[in-house]
Structure 1
Amino acid sequence: MNLYLIRHGESEGNRLGKIQGWHNFPLSDLGKRQALQLGDFFKHIHLDHIYSSDLTRAYDTAIAIGSYKDQTVHKWEKVREVNLGPLQGLTRKEIYEQFPQAKEKSILTSGLEGTESVEELTKRCAYIVDQLKRAHHKDDVAIVSHGGFISIFLMYLMLGENWGEVHRPFQIGNTSVTHIEWTESWKPLFHYVNRDHHLTTEAIASQKMGLL
């Protein structure tokens, strides 16, 4: 199986510097342009199935791919962003002011009450892998998801249940593509991570400046 993990285009939450989690922000104008560039990138890449987080910023990005491929996009709530509970909708500055303990850990795995736990995220990752194995072991599949969850899923693929004990090094930019291949042994091969060469100079410059 070939799996393409894709982060959504820039959202209004990204543009405003807000931590989004499960909050449902739409794509920004730049994000809509990025989604079209992403769709064009996939025009000549074979896909059997396209899945997306059910949050608007991801689904609308996936629709852009589907329109170039003339394929249906299937919503899959299991590939949503991490549920960040009380941190959602706040800027990093606001989070650190209101929840100083979040400085000690990653915002994604802070352990604060109301946020998704490492154990819950591990179960979610395991479920996704199991479902992909059962349904798509010989397919080419695209999943449009979110930066935080993609980075965690990559850690899970490498380290299994111990992923939360190790520093997470991945940067996942807007509409970046990560290509993973599984052979019959189901040992993942990482072809590339965070590829965004399909974006315009404007979009790449914004990402490097931390605006996305």
Structure 2
Amino acid sequence: MTTIYLIRHCSATGQAPDAPLTEAGERQALALRDFFQDVPVTRIISSDYERAVASITPFATASELSIETEPKLRERTLSLEPREDWLELLRHSFQDNSFALPGAESGQDATARILDVVDRTDGPTILVTHGNLLALLLQHVDNCYSVKRVWSDPACG
């Protein structure tokens, strides 16, 4: 059985692919380095967005592991334009995983992306990705996870 450690990138200055970590995010990255220092890890796979790579770089450097960048770990595109109703769209997308705005990505498609990466892991691996994509993966494992995170559902306790 392969052990996979899932990491959402550290605090960043924005959502753009080249958004750097904030000062707090840089401290979080150092804390990740310290947290994983005695954990046996043989592979690191990260979204190719700057904030994801920067989040795991201190650990990679300390452990002398390379960071494999993987575009399939990029954040899910919920909308091509900023939306005032983004939270409602997000809720709807978790209720109907085939829902997608024009040109954007459904939860079903994004989940398939990250599952492809998960299926190709071997040995103790760290995956560094983004919040929405990570929530979709966790929802795939336990449907109540995303429901609890995005809205309250009595069926999920």
1:141 aligns with 2:119: no
Deviation at 1:170, TM superposition (A): 5.9
Amino acid at match of 1:168: S
Q: Secondary structure of the residue that 1:44 maps to in structure 2?
A: coil
Gaps of 5+ in 1: 14-19, 172-212
Matches for 1:46-57 after TM superposition, within 5 Å: 46-57=40-51
- Partner of 2:111 in structure 1? 122
Q: Secondary structure at the match of 2:133?
A: helix
Amino acid at match of 2:5: Y
Q: Which residues in structure 2 correspond to 1:155-194 (within 5 Å)?
A: 155-158=139-142, 168-169=146-147
1:77 maps to a residue whose letter is P
Between the aligned residues of both structures, percent identity stands at: 28
Measured against aligned partners, the alpha-carbon deviations of 1:66-114 in whole angstroms (never above 9, x if no partner) come to: 0221211111111111123424xx4xxx522xx797376258x662112
Alpha-carbon offset, residue 144 of structure 1: 0.9
CA distance in 2, matches of 1:41, 1:100: 32
Q: TM-score normalised to the size of structure 1? A: 0.60
CA RMSD of aligned residues (A): 2.7
Q: CA deviation at 1:34?
A: 0.9
Q: Residue 167 and residue 38 in structure 1: after superposition, are their counterparts in 2 closer, same or farther (change >3 A)?
A: closer
Is there any run of 5+ residues in structure 2 with no aligned partner, and where?
Answer: 150-157
Report the number of matched residues: 146
Q: Which has the higher strand share?
A: 1
Q: Is the CA contact (8 Å cut-off) linking 2:10 and 2:25 kept in structure 1?
A: yes
Contact 1:2–1:140 (CA under 8 A) maintained in structure 2: yes
TM-score (norm 2): 0.78
Residue 10 (1) aligns with residue 7 (2): no
Residues 170 and 56 (structure 1), Cα distance of their counterparts in 2 relative to 1, 3 Å cut: farther
Bigger mean CA deviation after superposition, 115-124 or 65-74: 115-124
Shift of 1:148: 1.1
Aligned to 1:102: 89
**Structure 1 residues 62 and 170, CA, compared in 2 at 3 Å: closer, same or farther?**
farther
